[in-house]
Chain A
């Protein structure tokens, strides 16, 4: 009975106790890394955002049109704060990996390798999205001003379509870069875009022939009118 008690209860408990005792340093280390990581992330965020604010990074972003993009994408009012939060997120991610490393080295190693391999793709995708947003905004504004100066009705929707198209294109490229629904996305986009163009072409050419004629006629007339502000010689 005594032997059974020893084998069934005491020895497993002893082993468990030993395992817990063996694991405790890792646990303490993980907690320590977590606390240090949280503090470091917060500190880095504060330092980066204050430093960028001091060198007028917000103004630079506003001039480049990046501030509006950040507002829309990142929901942050200040570009400096956004950059700080980005750094904070990165350090928190590293902390998480280190905590995992402390708790389960074999799992973490695999995860870390996969994560590191994936990191460049995330970077490229982020650049594509931000770049697409900037290019879309720039092209949208170019179209808007040109359309207004050419007295084309519906200048704003036209500019909006151009901007939206560039944005969608950049998101498709970014998601493809990340390997998310690669084929599905490209095919969907192709079908959708091709479909819209085909539908518009058919509608414009056949079903709404008179309407299309009216629009083209009005555009041509307005172009003529635009030229006809008189014989003014401006310089």
Chain B
């Protein structure tokens, strides 16, 4: 059992006064003053509109923002109280803003949300990102109702995204999660989830709060835990996902390190589970599906191909330790190809990811070096994918991802055979 984090006395007092609640919506934040007001308003409206008969709590778990995020939340709460509603809620919506303790990161913010959920003995929880621009009150209903009325434990988001949006998800996380755990959860690291009070208590009981899970690995950890430990999982169609522009200083190799590192570490934890899964099934999808126009995304394919070529040339010694010879030779061959003929076949990409997973597990080289060295190859895949989409049209992008997933599943035996406990 993990140690329990101490709640702030003020928050503990508020919780004691509230005693218990039916639903909790958590909003982890860190310097999101620009967008969080919209999120708080949408969540409050969602609770008031779709769950007027239940006791609801909105919790902002803040990582020590310096841009006035918590003040904006307080302002937004006052505005939310003046919402025009046809049917007024039976109970007032309680709103709490509190800083979290522990390792700075989204995971620690979530830990506090799980803790409050356990304290209030809620039936259902939802968490939404504080940088969302496309959230509507309907998101609250879509993330909570499958839990309250259909008996699901975990609701993963399903968004309409631009083909070039979420490329780590498309190339590695989605295909690998689906292949390993046998359920097709399209956005395993979407950031907005619903989960039952039972699952929140289960999460809280895990001793992971001093690892990378406490930082940025929380999304994939939640999804994988729910899938691997047989909780009932579904998806909710939320429409488009638009958020604040990305942080220009965010480093791609650090992102790969955190996200892919979390997936690979969880593979070690659940090796006994995924080794016995041989195919995948669709995951139920809730919500009315509709097409949405996504914002255009500019890409620089030449730069990505150049990065791939430099990686193949300069990191050849590392790749020789990680990749099996046929993949290595093909990568070297691809690095010589002209830009317009540049295409990484699905089978090659699958073997690349499997070889990296095996190298991570068998500690062939330092794990951080291994994951950071994946960056040029990943950029090569993105370039290959973008060129393919440009040739075939954006409407074929999803089919292209499905084909890649099928290749991952077909070749799973290779991973199982070479994985040594």
Report the separation of the CA atoms of residues A63 and B365 in the bound assembly, to the nearest whole angstrom: 6
A63 pairs with B363, CB closer than 8 A = yes
Residues of A within 8 A of B362 (CB): 63
Residues of A within 8 A of B369 (CB): 141-142, 145
A232 pairs with B165, CB closer than 8 A = yes
Report the separation of the CA atoms of residues A234 and B318 in the bound assembly, to the nearest whole angstrom: 24
A231 pairs with B168, CB closer than 8 A = no
Chain A interface: which size bin? 20 to 34
Residues of A within 8 A of B189 (CB): 235
Q: Which of B167, B248, B307 contacts A232 (CB 8 A)?
A: B167
Q: B298 at interface (Cβ–Cβ under 8 A)? A: yes
List residues 280-316 of chain B with CB under 8 A from any CB of chain A. Answer: 297-300, 303-304, 306-307, 310-311, 314-315
Nearest CB in chain B to that of A144: its residue: B314
Q: B259 at interface (Cβ–Cβ under 8 A)? A: yes
Q: Chain A's nearest CB lies how many Å from the CB of B327?
A: 19
Nearest CB in chain A to that of B251: its residue: A149
A231 pairs with B299, CB closer than 8 A = yes
Q: How does the 8 Å CB contact mask read for B359-370 relative to A, with 1 for contact and 0 for none?
A: 000111110010
A229 pairs with B299, CB closer than 8 A = yes
Q: Which of A63, A65, A235 contacts B259 (CB 8 A)?
A: A235
Chain B interface: which size bin? 35 or more
Q: A71 at interface (Cβ–Cβ under 8 A)? A: no
Q: How does the 8 Å CB contact mask read for B228-262 relative to A, with 1 for contact and 0 for none?
A: 00000000000000010110100011011001000
Residues of A within 8 A of B256 (CB): 234
Nearest CB in chain A to that of B241: its residue: A233
Q: B164 at interface (Cβ–Cβ under 8 A)? A: yes
Q: B169 at interface (Cβ–Cβ under 8 A)? A: yes
Q: B42 at interface (Cβ–Cβ under 8 A)? A: no
Q: A138 at interface (Cβ–Cβ under 8 A)? A: yes
Residues of B within 8 A of A142 (CB): 369
Known interface pairs A63-B364, A141-B369, A156-B314; A232-B382 also in contact (CB < 8 Å): yes
Q: List 18 A-B contacts (CB under 8 A).
A: A63-B365, A138-B366, A141-B318, A141-B366, A141-B369, A145-B318, A145-B373, A148-B307, A148-B310, A155-B314, A230-B164, A230-B299, A232-B165, A232-B167, A232-B299, A233-B167, A234-B167, A235-B168
Residues of A within 8 A of B (CB): 63, 65, 138, 141-142, 144-149, 151, 155-156, 225-235
Residues of B within 8 A of A (CB): 164-169, 173, 189, 243, 245-246, 248, 252-253, 255-256, 259, 297-300, 303-304, 306-307, 310-311, 314-315, 318, 362-366, 369, 372-373, 375-376, 379, 382
